[in-house]
Structure 1
Amino acid sequence: LVIANMVKNGYYSPVRFHSSEYEELRVLMANRETVVKRLVSAVNQIHRWVDIVFPELRQVFKILTCKGALLTLRLFPLPADLCKLSPDDVIKGWQKYMKRHSGVRRAHLLIDLAKQTVGSKQATHAYKLHLEQLLEEHDLATKQLQRIEKEARDVVERIPYAGKILAITGISSIALVGVLGESGDLRGYAHGNALLRHAGLNLTEASSGKWKGQMTLSKRGRPRLRHFLYLITMCMVMNNQEFKALHHHNIKVKKLKKMKSIMKLCGKLARLLVGMVRSAAAYNPNKIFALAAYR
């Protein structure tokens, strides 16, 4: 009876079926999220392994996932292996796989630290096997991530209005893929506020009876869409001159807190995207943002 009453009163919205391109983007981005979690897990476990077995490696390589650090872990996984080698042997091992190796100074430092390490010297065979598996998982996840992102870029190129959106400074192809995969065709939205409601970024009031609560974000929508709209907004605040001016105006003139300004700019971004798509117009910062008012 409740459902029938809602249908009678028109409290419903029709289901929108997406075309093949948008469905492909949604599946690819869901797969990408899974692969990224595996990659982050592998990286965290590599950091843990280094802290246990060879913590001094951080003095040689500040970033343990750089090419030189990963190659060193592959070629000389244990400090005991490095103690048996000379700096020339380490450099020759690097040169087989890297044209620009880490240098003679780092080779000397690596061997000296290996001789003085405070890392665990027990169960070396098990630690070595564990590291090999972690590196294999890291390589597999990295390869899969690159393939997924390439496929996603190929699909987004088939969407007619994607080129105009990507011309905006601060919007990357992967971030746009994340938005389109969750929102579907932006031409199906009557206004940018509809996109905000779909993402759960619309304002709601938590009230009950005589008690009146504060205005908060509903968060009743697509969490992945909220994630990518937020990321795009942050990138545009850092790299896009128009959004940077708007953010500065919100903080200095309107006295908004930084996070409130970011949320306000998320709404501006949603209205910008839907407006550009529906009008088939190119990005015009002077027309859309009226920068003269903020300078």
Structure 2
Amino acid sequence: MKFTGKAAINQRIERITNQHAVVGIDIAKDVHAAQMIDFRGRELARRHLSFTNTREGFEKLVKWMHEVGSSHNKSSFLIGMEPTGHYWHNLADWLLEQDLEVVLVNPVTTHRNKENRDNSPSKNDPKDALVIADVVSRGYYTDYAPQAPVFERIKAVMSSREYWSGQSISLGNRIVRWIDLYFPEFRSVFSEWNGVRSLATLKAFALPDDLQQLDVDSVLEGWREQGMRRVAGASGRAKAAQLLAAAARSIGKSGTNDAARQDILRLLQFYEETQRVLSEMQLEVEALLEQVPFIEQLRSVHGLGTITLACLLGCAGDLRHYAHGRQLLRRAGLNLAERTSGKHKGQIKLSKRGDSMLRKYLYLAMLNLVNQNVDFKYWHIRNQLKGMTKMGSIFKLIGKLARILVGMVQRGEHYQSPHETTKAA
């Protein structure tokens, strides 16, 4: 199917008829503002409407819309708003339940059009509502259609997982900082600070002073008390001896031992809690993915992990609603943008006007694919032999992946490796 942005905008404009009233709503935490215009951009209401973020406020909005609309012979309404923050969700869902058409406007579009009427950079809620209505009347909007419940649940879990993942990284950085200050030799003994033996050591012998009067057997007993199994093997005894030697020559900060010990124990407690939460979310995500009708088709692409697929479906929604991979790239902000004027030829860059979380995981997925998937590894090498940079090849292959995924889901097919097929023949 051939898809062009120009045709889509024309279709959105033609959708607004003489019987339509376009309502722009500026979203706030407590009190929203609404303005109404016709399809030619003429204001229909004498002044804007302010209404609260409550059911009574929503009903006040609908009553005002019908009163103003009927006075101008308008029988249909197209309601536009910016999807900023989370305050718009309740209003948009309630309006859909009332069988009203709701569309979304990109905040960047609103910002760039705020001077059209008064040639002024001033900003206030009534003006923003009017600008949103103007933008909708010119076709610069997208339809708001809530996803099926399973995709909404995946999105909620993945959004929460991003928060807890960030917390885990932040706590890990704090723990590494603590180690560098109080026990810098610790990292010469343990290559990873968050291994099982490493964590047991930090909890049992947080500071070098805690190891000064101990022997190898005492260290092994301390590890056992932290729940470790099989600590007395040859490698365990060697590691204990290495730890004691490192503590004996430590140059770590001293003089605040009690405070430092309590600090690391608190950090470790919170870190282990975040790891427990992330493990629970992993199981929840896996259960939700089993409810997606086409999940096995996506899993047929070797190298796409559970978290990657969950983010893809949570951020992009049902891939059956996409006509082409380019739409998925645009949603992630991975479509190309170029600034060219007259003789000036601008550099082509990624627009980055889209879902940053989806963009992040598509990038990480491609890094994994070029290492594990035989096809993407081959295409990545071939692109570089043609003179393309590694990063350029990665983003080119992300576009290829988007087309493959949307095409598979649209046709109900599983992925078939062209190289494996050729080899079998």
TM-score range, shorter chain: over 0.9
Alignment TM-score, normalising by the size of structure 1? 0.92
* 8 Å Cα contact 1:199-1:225 kept in structure 2: yes
2:164 aligned partner, one-letter code? V
Residues 7-66 of structure 1: per-residue CA shift (max 9 Å, x gap)? 555443322211111111111111111111111111111111111111111121111111
Tell me how far 1:167 sits from its aligned partner.
2.4
1:224-263 equivalent positions in 2, closer than 5 A: 224-252=357-385, 254-263=386-395
State whether structure 2 residue 346 is matched by structure 1 residue 213: yes
* 8 Å Cα contact 1:242-1:291 kept in structure 2: no
Q: Which moved more, 1:73-82 or 1:123-132?
A: 73-82
The separation in 1 between residues aligned to 2:392 and 2:145, in whole angstroms, is 31
Equivalent of 1:99, from 229, 239, 260?
A: 229
Q: Which residue of 1 aligns with 2:175?
A: 46
Tell me how far 1:192 sits from its aligned partner.
0.6
Tell me how far 1:92 sits from its aligned partner.
1.9
Q: Compare relative contact order (CA 8 Å, sep 6+) and give the higher one, 1 or 2.
A: 1
The separation in 2 between residues aligned to 1:285 and 1:108, in whole angstroms, is 51
Residues 173-197 of structure 1: per-residue CA shift (max 9 Å, x gap)? 1110011110000000011111111
Q: Which residue of 2 aligns with 1:266?
A: 398
Equivalent of 1:277, from 409, 413, 418?
A: 409
For residue 142 of structure 2, give the secondary structure of its aligned residue in structure 1: coil
The separation in 2 between residues aligned to 1:7 and 1:50, in whole angstroms, is 55
1:118-267 equivalent positions in 2, closer than 5 A: 118-208=251-341, 211-252=344-385, 254-267=386-399
Q: Which moved more, 1:11-20 or 1:242-251?
A: 11-20
Tell me how far 1:112 sits from its aligned partner.
2.3
* 8 Å Cα contact 1:71-1:94 kept in structure 2: yes
Tell me how far 1:207 sits from its aligned partner.
3.3
* 8 Å Cα contact 1:77-1:131 kept in structure 2: yes
* 8 Å Cα contact 1:245-1:291 kept in structure 2: no
1:98 aligned partner, one-letter code? M
The separation in 1 between residues aligned to 2:340 and 2:282, in whole angstroms, is 43
The separation in 2 between residues aligned to 1:230 and 1:224, in whole angstroms, is 10
Q: Which residue of 2 aligns with 1:35?
A: 164
Q: Which residue of 2 aligns with 1:25?
A: 154
2:330 aligned partner, one-letter code? R
Equivalent of 1:108, from 241, 259, 273?
A: 241
Alignment TM-score, normalising by the size of structure 2? 0.65
For residue 349 of structure 2, give the secondary structure of its aligned residue in structure 1: strand
Residues 258, 72 of structure 1: alpha-carbon distance in 2 compared, 3 angstrom cutoff: same
CA-atom RMSD in angstroms: 1.9
The separation in 1 between residues aligned to 2:273 and 2:349, in whole angstroms, is 41
1:94 aligned partner, one-letter code? W
For residue 103 of structure 1, give the secondary structure of its aligned residue in structure 2: helix
Tell me how far 1:212 sits from its aligned partner.
3.4
* 8 Å Cα contact 1:206-1:216 kept in structure 2: no
2:183 aligned partner, one-letter code? F
Residues 198, 112 of structure 1: alpha-carbon distance in 2 compared, 3 angstrom cutoff: same
The separation in 2 between residues aligned to 1:140 and 1:12, in whole angstroms, is 42
**Identity over aligned pairs, percent:** 39
The separation in 2 between residues aligned to 1:5 and 1:74, in whole angstroms, is 61
For residue 162 of structure 2, give the secondary structure of its aligned residue in structure 1: helix
Q: Which has the higher strand share?
A: 2
The separation in 2 between residues aligned to 1:250 and 1:290, in whole angstroms, is 20
Q: Where do 5+ consecutive residues of structure 2 fail to align?
A: 1-40, 42-130
Q: Larger Rg: 1 or 2?
A: 2
For residue 340 of structure 2, give the secondary structure of its aligned residue in structure 1: coil
Tell me how far 1:291 sits from its aligned partner.
8.3
For residue 64 of structure 1, give the secondary structure of its aligned residue in structure 2: coil
State the aligned residue count: 289
The separation in 2 between residues aligned to 1:47 and 1:139, in whole angstroms, is 15
The separation in 2 between residues aligned to 1:128 and 1:10, in whole angstroms, is 61
For residue 346 of structure 2, give the secondary structure of its aligned residue in structure 1: coil
The separation in 1 between residues aligned to 2:203 and 2:137, in whole angstroms, is 67
The separation in 2 between residues aligned to 1:9 and 1:124, in whole angstroms, is 66
* 8 Å Cα contact 1:156-1:177 kept in structure 2: yes
Residues 7, 76 of structure 1: alpha-carbon distance in 2 compared, 3 angstrom cutoff: closer
Residues 210, 99 of structure 1: alpha-carbon distance in 2 compared, 3 angstrom cutoff: same
2:200 aligned partner, one-letter code? L
Q: Which moved more, 1:188-197 or 1:11-20?
A: 11-20
Equivalent of 1:88, from 199, 213, 217?
A: 217
